[in-house]
Chains A and B, each alone.
Chain A
Amino acid sequence: DAVMTQSPLSLPVTLGQSASISCRSSQSLVHSDGNTYLIWLQQRPGQSPRRLIYKVSNRDSGVPDRFSGSGSGTDFTLKITRVEAEDVGVYYCMQATEWPRTFGQGTKVEI
C-alpha cells in the first residue's frame, strides 16, 4: 500500500501569512497513464471533506487561488497564501493512483 505521510500534523498560522503542508508517499504516485493522482481535501470543523486540488495542482471550481498544489513523484505540497479565518480545519492528502486508496493522517490548521 502507498503510505501517505503528512507534516506537520498541527500547524498554527497567523492571519494573512502563508502556510505549507507536506505530503510524502512511500511509492511513486505516477500512474501508468502518465498522470499523478494526488488530491488535497479540506475538512472544516463539523463539515464533510471538500476536494480542493486534484492531479497535484489543479484547483477545483470555487477554490480560492490562495490554495496551490505542487510536487511530483513522491513529494507534494499544499500551500495556502494569505491565510484567512475560514481556512481553519484539517487538510488531507490522498492518492488515487494505487489500490487501496490511502489518505495522509491529516494536518490541523489553526489560527
Chain B
Amino acid sequence: EVQMWESGGGLGQPGGPLRLSCAASGYTFSQHAINWVRQAPGKGLEWVSLISDNGDATYYADSVRGRFIISRDNSKGTVSLQMNSLRVEDTAVYYCVRSNFVDYWGQGTLVTVSS
C-alpha cells in the first residue's frame, strides 16, 4: 500500500523560513515525481511545486517561485520543500502528492505564518 506523509509544519514568522519534508512507503521512491499542493483554510487546492523522479527537473507556481525550493534525496527517500520569505498568505495545509498525475496524497501538514 502506497503511503505518503509530511512533516515539518508549524508556526513560521513572516519573512522567515520553514522546511517541510515528505516521505513515502509502498513503492520505489525514485520512480515517481513528487508534488506539493496546498490548501488555505476553507479554500480550494493550489498546486505549489513538483520535482521529477530523479530530481533533474523542478517546477513552481508563480506564487512561490523564487521563495520556495523543492529538492529530493532518493538515497534517503525524502523530498523537501524549503520555504523562505514566508508570507501570511502561505498559511495552508501542505500535501505531499505522488506522481505527475497526483495519485496518492498524504494527510497534510499545517503551516501557519503569523507574527
Q: Which residue of B47, B61, B95, B100 has the most chain A CB atoms within 10 A of its CB atom?
A: B47
Contact of A37 among B62, B95, B101 (CB under 8 A): B101
The reply to whether B103 and A49 contact each other, CB–CB distance below 8 Å, is: no
Q: Mark A70-111, 1 if CB is under 8 A from B, else 0.
A: 000000000000000000001010101001111111100000
**Cα A51 to Cα B35 with chains together (Å):** 14
Which of chain A's residues 49-82 have a Cβ closer than 8 Å to chain B? 49-51, 54-55, 60
Contact of B47 among A37, A90, A103 (CB under 8 A): A103
The reply to whether A50 and B44 contact each other, CB–CB distance below 8 Å, is: no
The reply to whether B47 and A48 contact each other, CB–CB distance below 8 Å, is: no
The 8 A-B pairs with the shortest beta carbon distances in the complex, nearest first, are A101-B47, A48-B105, A103-B45, A106-B44, A100-B61, A54-B101, A51-B103, A99-B59
Closest to B50 in A: A101
**Is B106 in contact with chain A by the CB < 8 A criterion?**
yes
Q: Which residues of B contact A (CB under 8 A)?
A: 35, 37, 44-47, 50, 59-62, 95, 100-108
Chain A residues in 8 Å Cβ range of B108? 48
Interface residues on A, range: 20 to 34
CB distance from A61 to the nearest CB of B (A): 10
Contact of B45 among A37, A54, A106 (CB under 8 A): A106
Contact of B44 among A55, A92, A101 (CB under 8 A): A92
Listed by A's residue number, 28 A-B pairs whose Cβ atoms lie within 8 Å are A48-B95, A48-B105, A48-B108, A49-B37, A49-B45, A51-B101, A51-B102, A51-B103, A51-B104, A51-B105, A54-B101, A55-B101, A92-B45, A94-B45, A94-B102, A96-B100, A96-B101, A96-B102, A100-B59, A100-B61, A101-B35, A101-B47, A101-B50, A102-B47, A103-B45, A103-B46, A105-B44, A106-B44
**Is A39 in contact with chain B by the CB < 8 A criterion?**
yes
CB distance from A66 to the nearest CB of B (A): 20
**Cα A43 to Cα B37 with chains together (Å):** 14
The reply to whether B103 and A103 contact each other, CB–CB distance below 8 Å, is: no
Closest to B63 in A: A100
Chain A residues in 8 Å Cβ range of B62? 100
